[in-house]
Amino acid sequence: MLRQPLATDLPAFLDALDEVCLWLPKSASPKALEGQFRVRLAGQPLAVVAVKGGERAPVKPDPGRVVLAGTFQKSLGGQEWNPSGKETQLTRLSDGRFELVVKLPAGSHAYKLTRGGTWDENYGMDFTPGGANLMLVLKKPTLVRFVADFSKKTLKNSVENSRDVPPPMSLPAPPQAHTDDMSYQSFRLTLARKLTAGEILQPLQVQFQAQPWRTVYIREALSDPLFYYAPSDLGARWSRTQTVFKLWSPVATQVTLILGTQRLPMVRGGSGVWQVAALGDWHGAPYHFELVSYGQKRRAADLYGVAATADSSRSIVVDLSRTNPPGWPAPRPFVGKKPTDAVLYELHLRDFTIHPSSGVRPEWRGKYLGLTQKVDYLAQLGITHVHLLPFQDFNAAHSENYNWGYETSLFNVPEEQYATRPHGDPIGHLREVKQLVQALHTRGIGVVMDVVYNHTVPSQGALSAFWESVPYYYFRSNDKGELLNESGVGNALHDERPMVRKFVRESLAYWSREFKIDGFRFDLLGMFTKATVAELCQEIRRQNPSAVIYGEPWTGGGPLRFGKGDQKGLAVAVFNDHFRNALRGDLDGSQPGFALGGKTAAATLESLLGGSLSDFAASPTETVNYVSAHDNATFWDKVALSLPREPELHHAAVKLAHASVLLAQGIPFLEGGVELGRTKGGNPNSYNAGDRANQFDWRRGAEFEDVRAYMAGLIRLRRAHPAFRLSTAEQVKRTLTFLPHASGAAFRLNGGRVGDSWQQVLVVLHGSKKPGTFTLPPGLWKKAVDHQRAGIQSLGVFRGRAVLASLSASVFFQD
User: Any idea which residues carry the catalytic annotation?
Assistant: 523, 552
| Residues 6 or more apart in contact with residue 603 via CB below 8 angstroms | none
Size (the chain), residues: 815
Q: Within 13 Å and on the Cβ side, how many CA atoms surround 347?
A: 27
Contact 451, 527 (CB under 8 A): no
Helix (H) or strand (E) holding 466: helix 465-469
Long-range contacts made by residues 787-793, C-beta under 8 angstroms, separation at least 24? Answer: 787/652, 787/655, 788/706, 788/710, 789/709, 789/710, 789/713, 790/659, 790/709, 790/710, 790/711, 790/713, 790/714, 790/717, 791/713, 791/716, 791/717, 792/713, 792/716, 792/717, 792/720, 792/721
Residue 740 DSSP symbol: -
Residue 728 DSSP symbol: S
Rounding to the nearest 10 degrees, give the CA dihedral for residues 557, 559, 564, 567.
-130
Nearest one of 272, 268, 265 to 248, comparing CA atoms: 272
Buried b (16+ CB within 10 A) or exposed e, 493-504: bbbebebbbbbb
Nearest one of 325, 307, 327 to 317, comparing CA atoms: 307
Cα-only R_g, the chain: 29
For the chain, the farthest-separated pair of C-alpha atoms sits apart, in whole angstroms, at: 93
Contact 10, 2 (CB under 8 A): no
Q: Which amino acid is at 343?
A: V
Q: Within 13 Å and on the Cβ side, how many CA atoms surround 174?
A: 6
Looking only at the bridges linking them, the beta strands covering 772-775 and 760-766 are unpaired
Segments in 610-649 forming alpha helices (H) = 635-642
Distance (Å, rounded) from C-alpha 388 to C-alpha 452? 12
Please spell the DSSP secondary structure of 138-155, one letter per residue.
ESS-EEEEEEEETTTTEE
| Residues 6 or more apart in contact with residue 112 via CB below 8 angstroms | 68, 69, 70, 122, 123, 124, 131, 133, 134, 557
Backbone phi, then psi, for 51, in 5-degree steps?
Answer: -125, 125
Backbone phi, then psi, for 63, in 5-degree steps?
Answer: -55, -20
Contact 477, 484 (CB under 8 A): yes
Angle at 380 between CA 377 and CA 382, to 5 degrees: 115
Contact 750, 734 (CB under 8 A): yes
Nearest one of 515, 304, 285 to 391, comparing CA atoms: 515
Distance (Å, rounded) from C-alpha 418 to C-alpha 439? 16
Q: Which amino acid is at 211?
A: Q
Helix (H) or strand (E) holding 539: helix 530-543
| Residues 6 or more apart in contact with residue 706 via CB below 8 angstroms | 651, 788
3-state secondary structure at position 50? strand
| Residues 6 or more apart in contact with residue 177 via CB below 8 angstroms | none
